[in-house]
């Protein structure tokens, strides 16, 4: 039995297909769902946590059907949403205790103390949450999510808006939970975090999985060097044998080539002939950012059908 098993999971909002036929199993791992804004990450999480009814397909979580056994599913999972889920007018301890009581946790006092300790919040547990930093609030949300000892943890953008040190701390906690046997389903926009901390990633684009594998598998699959070129102004990349244009982020163009060092001067000459002003060029091994760009492109394409016209989603990556 897998912790999470999705079969043709689909969600339409009116005529907009937000999640399109997802079939995917996740077990004993930190799984990251990556994708541009509006690609269907939160919608997927909301269905798996029983908060949103699928339009089609189904999923099992901890062996329970998310539609017909929603209550059973809720007992064995926790969900930390994208937006803040703590009451800032309570103290940290009161907030966690509230959730312990909601779940009917036995020996609640001891368990609350334990999760506050695990999340390094004991010293500040009796302070009002409104005095906490962003990183502390996120750790408190984790503490409250852990209080009933869930088997599967859903985290929607757990590190968004946090500084580098706070992000690292959150990931250390997530990794510790994984070591204890928890399955963790996380969404994030931070490729470096997914690369460093997650066992497997799925890249979702317009509600569909565009790439799936461990970060190292996905990078190896590109089997190419990456050349990035910073240019001034508009530039039409010329077609060149053995060179693939991946996309543009800001003033940086990305290309892949099988033999980067041979290609670099050829590409420079070719771009210069189009009149482009080249500011910098570099050659490197692929990162998860490159995998993402290749799988998703730099913006969303037509996504839904409204009033007889395709609704064009032109959203840039965060
Ligand atoms: N309640 C809703 N009603 C109508 N459309 C919705 C609703 N919620 C989400 N959508 C649309 O469904 C699509 C997927 O949204 P979703 O929130 O799942 O994306 P996401 O990948 O989580 O985005 P982000 O990275 O911005 O959090 C988007 O086009 C969004 O506008
Ligand atoms: Mg979201």
Q: Domain residue spans in the chain? A: 4-218, 225-285
User: What sign has the CA pseudo-torsion 69, 71, 75, 78?
Assistant: positive
What pLDDT, on the 0 to 100 scale, is given for residue 298? 56
User: 158: closest CA among 191, 181, 194, 186?
Assistant: 186
What pLDDT, on the 0 to 100 scale, is given for residue 310? 29
Q: SS3 helix, strand, coil % of the chain, rounded to 5?
A: 35, 30, 35
Reduced to 3 states, what is the DSSP secondary structure of residue 42? helix
What is the distance between the alpha carbons of residues 288 and 221, in angstroms, rounded to a whole number? 11
Looking from the CA of residue 204, the nearest atom of ligand 1 is: 21
What is the distance between the alpha carbons of residues 284 and 298, in angstroms, rounded to a whole number? 20
What is the distance between the alpha carbons of residues 268 and 224, in angstroms, rounded to a whole number? 18
Task: Please give the distance, rounded to the nearest whole angstrom, from the Cα atom of residue 176 to the centre of ligand 1.
Answer: 30
Q: Is the pTM of this model over 0.85?
A: no
What pLDDT, on the 0 to 100 scale, is given for residue 128? 95
Proportion of the chain above pLDDT 70, given as a percent: 93
What is the distance between the alpha carbons of residues 17 and 300, in angstroms, rounded to a whole number? 13
Regarding the domain with residue range 4-218, which homologous superfamily does it belong to in the CATH classification? Answer: P-loop containing nucleotide triphosphate hydrolases (3.40.50.300)
What is the distance between the alpha carbons of residues 229 and 248, in angstroms, rounded to a whole number? 9
Q: Is the pLDDT of residue 300 over 50?
A: no
Residue nearest to atom 26 of ligand 1 (CA): 37
> What is the tens place of the pLDDT at every residue in 167-222?
898 899 899 999 999 999 999 989 999 999 999 999 999 999 999 999 999 998 87
What is the distance between the alpha carbons of residues 270 and 242, in angstroms, rounded to a whole number? 13
What is the distance between the alpha carbons of residues 283 and 29, in angstroms, rounded to a whole number? 33
Residue nearest to atom 27 of ligand 1 (CA): 37
**How large is the C-alpha radius of gyration of the chain?**
22
Task: Please give the distance, rounded to the nearest whole angstrom, from the Cα atom of residue 38 to the centre of ligand 2.
Answer: 7
Is the distance from the beta carbon of residue 294 to the nearest atom of ligand 1 less than 6 Å?
Answer: no
Whether the CB-CB separation of 111 and 117 falls below 8 Å is answered with: no
What pLDDT, on the 0 to 100 scale, is given for residue 125? 96
**Full DSSP string of 234-248:** ---PPPBTTEEEEEE
Is the distance from the beta carbon of residue 38 to the nearest atom of ligand 1 less than 6 Å?
Answer: yes
Whether the CB-CB separation of 178 and 201 falls below 8 Å is answered with: no
């Amino acid at each position: 039995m897998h912790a999470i098993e999705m079969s043709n999971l689909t969600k339409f909002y009116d005529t907009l297909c937000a999640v399109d036929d997802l079939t995917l199993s996740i077990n004993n791992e930190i799984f990251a769902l990556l994708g541009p804004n509006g690609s269907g990450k939160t919608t997927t999480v909301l269905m798996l946590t029983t908060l949103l009814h699928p339009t089609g397909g189904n999923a099992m979580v901890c062996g329970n059907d998310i539609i017909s056994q929603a209550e059973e599913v809720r007992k064995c999972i926790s969900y930390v949403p994208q937006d803040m889920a703590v009451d800032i007018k309570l103290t940290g301890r009161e907030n966690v205790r509230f959730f312990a009581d909601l779940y009917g946790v036995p020996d609640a006092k001891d368990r609350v103390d334990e999760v506050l300790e695990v999340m390094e919040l004991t010293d500040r547990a009796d302070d009002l949450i409104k005095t906490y930093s962003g990183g502390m609030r996120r750790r408190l949300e984790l503490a409250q999510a852990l209080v009933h000892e869930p088997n599967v943890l859903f985290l929607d953008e757990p590190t968004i808006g946090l500084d580098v040190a706070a992000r690292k701390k959150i990931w250390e906690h997530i990794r510790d939970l994984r070591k204890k046997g928890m399955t963790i389903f996380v969404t994030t926009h931070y490729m470096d975090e997914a690369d460093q901390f997650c066992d497997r990633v799925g890249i979702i684009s317009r509600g569909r999985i565009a790439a799936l594998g461990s970060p190292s598998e996905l990078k190896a699959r590109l089997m190419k060097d990456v050349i990035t070129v910073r240019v001034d102004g508009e530039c039409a990349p010329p077609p060149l044998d053995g060179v693939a244009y991946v996309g543009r982020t800001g003033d940086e163009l990305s290309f892949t080539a099988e033999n980067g060092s041979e290609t670099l001067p050829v590409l420079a000459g070719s771009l210069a002939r189009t009149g482009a002003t080249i500011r910098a060029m570099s050659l490197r091994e692929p990162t998860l950012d490159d995998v993402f760009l290749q799988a998703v492109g730099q913006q969303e394409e037509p996504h839904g059908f409204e009033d007889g016209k395709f609704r064009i989603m032109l959203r840039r990556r965060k």
